[in-house]
Amino acid sequence: MGFKLGYSGLRWQTPDLDQVLSELKEAGWEGWEVRQSLDWLGSASRVKSISDRAGIPVAVVAGGEITLNGDSEMIERNKRRIDFAADVEADTFMFMGAARPYGCSSTSNDILQLADLADKFADYAAQYKLDVCYHIHTSTTVDSREEWEFLMRSMKQSKLCIDVSHSAFWHYDPAQSIRDFKDRLVYVHLQDYKDYRFVELGEGGLLDFSAVMTALEEVEYSRWVTVCPSQSDLPDKEKMWRDRAYLRKLGY
């Protein structure tokens, strides 16, 4: 297995980092994804120190809210998170598209604006030799296989994060999407889904996770694969143990 297994802080609003990262290490995870406000996290040196102490490095730092109107404050706030990502020695900075109201369609111009913004972030991050990746996600600017393919043709420098659940939502076989975009792929999210909410891996039946992992090995993917915690009522610690146990059952 050439890739590393991480766990997302997606649902931790105000975590006790010392505690939660120690629990991640105990459960068998190798890294974590930063989603929290920088106001809560504090300095990059503080976060890196805690992460190093727990033996759980920062894999990826996620960006903040995106708009397509060229808002300077939005751009600067995301640049600060890129700075933070570089300082904690993250592998990648990840961001999603703008929120897309239900029932509304994106125009080609919307997607071109998103591609331009992605490449602006990539230009800025290049000073740190840090990759920037676009995270596919439903109900954002890009919300279909066709729009995703158009975005990939339009982005010149930004890389890609495939969330296999969202690929499946768009009826694009997740394993095939990994093969199709292997040259741009720098980050992977694993999630499962059932009855209108995200659940623990293997409990939703949304997709074939074994086929996904096999595809990653076939394309010799060697970076982070991160699990996003479910929306269940289970304690955070139990979620991280269940998801890790499921991947072990698959041989990882």
79-94 per-position pLDDT tens digit: 999 999 999 999 999 9
CA distance 64 to 104: 22
Beta-carbon-side half-sphere exposure of residue 9 (alpha carbons within 13 Å): 28
Question: DSSP assignment, residue 223?
Answer: S
pTM to 2 decimals?
Answer: 0.96
Band the pLDDT of 105: cuts 50, 70, 90: confident
Q: For the residues 107-135, what does the mean pLDDT come to?
A: 97
- Cβ-contact 4, 59 below 8 angstroms: yes
Which pLDDT does position 101 carry in this prediction?
77
CA-based nearest residue to 192, from 201, 181, 179, 183: 201
E-only strand ranges, 117-200: 131-135, 159-163, 185-190, 192-194, 197-199
Instruction: Identify the bridge partners of residue 142 per DSSP, sorted by sequence position.
Output: none
175-219 per-position pLDDT tens digit: 999 999 999 999 999 999 999 999 999 999 999 999 999 999 999
CA distance 27 to 238: 9
- Cβ-contact 247, 28 below 8 angstroms: no
43-79 per-position pLDDT tens digit: 999 999 999 999 999 999 999 999 999 899 999 999 9
Dig out the tokens for 218 from the structure.
């076939």
